[in-house]
């Protein structure tokens, strides 16, 4: 599922949470796109109540470390579908390690569920213990999205990503057992 020779990167996306994990990205896209470390000034990375992934919101004295990916239109569409309705895709400016500024897209938590945000999210503490099961959830997600022809899923992946949904059960991963219903 690597991009074809004709698929040139057309978009730049800043990621700051679960999409910094190579297993998640390669599960969703089939490969790791070219990337660089970056910092997004003026934002804070929050924990979300009962979720293993983070959210960012503007905060005057904040900054968020992450990665900038160069992706194709198809890959950007997959990322767009992966993020649920609690996120808005916004244009932001990040600073690369060499000090240069890059304009790109980022998925910013909207205010519809602001009361669920608290504290500061840490990759190692809040996500690393769940990477393997999260990758299983991502495999189920991308299988269903590709089956739909990159159409939106009937149910957002956020419904799968609470810590209890990522725990193994007799039927498999609780979240992974919930499959998106096929498009009519």
pLDDT in tens, 135-164: 999 999 999 988 888 766 555 544 445 555
Active-site annotation holds for 83: yes
Is pTM beyond 0.95? Reply is no
State the catalytic residue, choosing from 83, 90, 115, 155: 83
Residue reference for tokens 């919930």: 178
Report the candidate in 38, 82, 40, 79 with the shortest Cα–Cα distance to residue 58.
Answer: 40
pLDDT in tens, 110-125: 987 889 999 999 999 9
pLDDT at 101: 98
Instruction: Determine which of 9-13, 62-66, 89-93, 175-179 has the lowest per-residue pLDDT on average.
Output: 175-179
Across all residues in the chain, what is the average pLDDT?
84
Distance CA 165, CA 114 (A): 22
- Which residue segments constitute the domains of the chain, with CATH numbers given? 11-177 (3.10.490.10)
pLDDT band at 104 (very low <50, low <70, confident <90, very high): very high
pLDDT at 165: 56
């Amino acid at each position: 599922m690597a991009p074809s020779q004709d698929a040139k990167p057309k978009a730049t996306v800043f990621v700051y949470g679960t999409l910094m994990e190579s297993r998640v990205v390669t599960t969703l896209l089939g490969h790791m796109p070219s990337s660089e470390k970056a910092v997004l000034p003026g934002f804070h990375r929050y924990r979300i109540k009962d979720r293993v992934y983070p959210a960012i919101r503007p905060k005057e004295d904040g900054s968020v470390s992450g990665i900038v990916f160069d992706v194709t239109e198809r890959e950007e569409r997959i990322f767009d579908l992966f993020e649920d309705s609690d996120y808005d895709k916004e244009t932001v400016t990040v600073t690369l390690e060499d000090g240069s500024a890059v304009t790109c897209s980022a998925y910013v938590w909207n205010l519809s569920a602001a009361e669920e945000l608290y504290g500061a999210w840490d990759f190692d503490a809040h996500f690393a213990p769940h990477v393997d099961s999260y990758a299983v959830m991502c495999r189920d997600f991308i299988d269903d999205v590709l089956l739909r022809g990159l159409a939106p899923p009937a149910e957002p992946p956020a419904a799968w990503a609470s810590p209890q949904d990522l725990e193994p059960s007799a039927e498999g991963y609780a979240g992974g057992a919930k499959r998106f219903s096929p498009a009519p």
